[in-house]
Structures are given as structure tokens and as C-alpha cells.
Structure 1
Amino acid sequence: MINLFHADFVARHLELLASTEAWIGRGQAAETAYPIRKVNEGDRISLGDVTLQIVEPLATRSRRSRRR
């Protein structure tokens, strides 16, 4: 999974996506011009012996709740 929509964004994400079996994970509100896998708080992603759990940053939750 690649989640790169931040200040540390990597500009070659689409090339990396095309040349690997990686996928780009984004939150449910994300809108992109490229394919993504939408993830939710608490989702789990298994990578061999490692399991990652999706955690939405508090700042993101705060911004989203102010938009409602």
C-alpha cells in the first residue's frame, strides 16, 4: 500500500504503482484521477508477518467534522 497525500508526497507514485504490485490507499472522502483503494479507520492490511492498522490522524478527523 502506498499512502502519499501529504507534505512528504513522492511525485513518482504512479510509476511505482505501475511497476509493482503496490496499491495506493486513501480515505473514503478521497477523489483522485488515478486508481485507489479506499480504506477506513480500523481497517487492517496484512503484509506477510506484519499487519498494519489504518489510523486516521486527529487533524484529518477535525477538518472533516468542520466541513459537515
Structure 2
Amino acid sequence: MISDNDLYRLAIFFGTTAMVLIVLYHFLEVNAAKDPIEAGKEGVSKSLLQQRLLGVKENSLDERFRLFG
């Protein structure tokens, strides 16, 4: 059976590890190089990863409204 002291040490270890990984992830996300598609655009609302996950093409709205105008 696990003692209270062992459980405490495990909780401290996993909590510390989780916080270090969160800080590392945010550091890498902020300092990541932009994709060439995004590098030329200013004020991009969605990242390329979000566009790929949502299945949104880069100029899909422009192509739809070209039919009407």
C-alpha cells in the first residue's frame, strides 16, 4: 500500500512536471517559426494548424463570394 509520504512526493513530482511541460509548450509555441504562408500575412486570425484541423482552405470564403460578384 502507498503511504501518505509517497503519495505526497508523487503529487509534487507530477505537479511540477506538468507545470514545466506547460511552460515549455508555451515557450516553444510563442517562439516557433511561422509557416511561409502565414509569414507574409499580417493579422492572421487562425493558425495553419487550426485551419487544417477545421478543414478550412486558405481562401475558401473568397472563392465562394466570387460567384456573386
TM-score band w.r.t. shorter chain = under 0.3
| TM-score computed with the length of structure 1 as normaliser | 0.25
Higher helix share: 2
Q: Which has the larger radius of gyration?
A: 2
Name which structure has the greater RCO, CA cutoff 8 Å, separation 6+: 1
> Which one has the bigger strand percentage?
1
- TM-score (normalizing by structure 2): 0.24
